[in-house]
Structures are given as structure tokens and as C-alpha cells.
Amino acid sequence: MDLQKVRDYFLSKPGTVEDTPFRIPVPVFKVGDKMFGLINIHEPDKESINLKYPKDRIHDLRSVFAEIQPGYHMNKDNWNTVYLDGQLEEDFIFELIDISYDLVFKSLTKKKQKEISEMDI
């Protein structure tokens, strides 16, 4: 899957901003100042993204898909690294991004959620 397409999908989510908060220029995607995804640059020949996933179901994905591994340089109980080598369907990758976004969005205060929702109107 093309990284530009993934980046565009991240940015299509309401209230999303792209940032580079780390020492190395890793593109990080946030909603309400909370990270829900990033594009890994540690393996240029093996493109991947990191996404948040519900703690109680995170290991299920890893046991089914070889392309989904514990999050690289992330809390392994909350984050997965998803390899974009063409083995996973594009719609499935978008669904995983949606889950990560929704998980973080729902963790925001009701006030912040409302602000973000109203920005999209």
C-alpha cells in the first residue's frame, strides 16, 4: 500500500493534525493532541505504520496476521506495527486506522470531542 495514500487517509479523519515531535522526523498523527498513528521510517525497505488497538483484543490480530506485530518502540499492550507490504487488504488497513482514531477520539473529553465534531461541519 502506498504511504501517501495512508498519510492522506490519516489526515482525512476529523480534527487530525500531522506532527513530528521526535528527534527523528517520524510523521505522527494526532487528534485532540493525542497520537493515534505514525508512519515508521526505521525500515525504509519495509513500510509500516503504528496504530493503537483495544488492549483486550490486541493479541488476536497478532496471532492471525503475520503483518501485524507488537508496536515498534511503543507500549506493546496498546500499539501494533502494521506492515504495508501488500499482504493486507487496503480496506482492512483503513479499518485498523479507523479503530485507532476512534479509540483515541473516545478518550478525549466530551468538550474536546464536541469541538472536533463541530470543526467538520
Please indicate, yes or no, if residue 119 is contained in any of the structural domains: no
Compare 106 and 22 and report the one with higher pLDDT.
106
Q: In terms of pTM, does the model score above 0.75?
A: yes
Look up the CATH number of the domain holding residue 45: 3.90.1150.30
Other residues' Cβ atoms within 10 Å of the Cβ of residue 81: 23
Q: What is the pLDDT, as a whole number, of residue 109?
A: 95
Comparing CA positions, the residue from 76, 65, 68, 36 lying closest to residue 52 is 36
The percentage of residues in the chain with a pLDDT greater than 70, rounded to a whole number, is: 98
Please indicate, yes or no, if residue 121 is contained in any of the structural domains: no
Please indicate, yes or no, if residue 80 is contained in any of the structural domains: yes
Please indicate, yes or no, if residue 60 is contained in any of the structural domains: yes
Please indicate, yes or no, if residue 45 is contained in any of the structural domains: yes
Q: What is the pLDDT of residues 21-79, one digit of tens each?
A: 888 889 999 999 999 999 998 777 789 999 999 999 898 999 999 999 998 888 898 99
Cα distances from 68 to residues 33, 63, 77, 108, in angstroms, run 25, 8, 13, 26
Please indicate, yes or no, if residue 59 is contained in any of the structural domains: yes
Enclosing domain of residue 75:
3-114
Count of domains forming the chain: 1
Please indicate, yes or no, if residue 12 is contained in any of the structural domains: yes
Phi, psi values for residue 42, rounded to 5°: -70, -25
Q: What is the pLDDT, as a whole number, of residue 121?
A: 52
Please answer whether residues 41 and 24 qualify as being in contact, where contact means their C-beta atoms are separated by less than 8 angstroms. yes
Q: What is the pLDDT of residues 83-98, one digit of tens each?
A: 998 789 999 999 999 9
The percentage of residues in the chain with a pLDDT greater than 90, rounded to a whole number, is: 71
Please indicate, yes or no, if residue 120 is contained in any of the structural domains: no
Q: What is the pLDDT, as a whole number, of residue 120?
A: 61
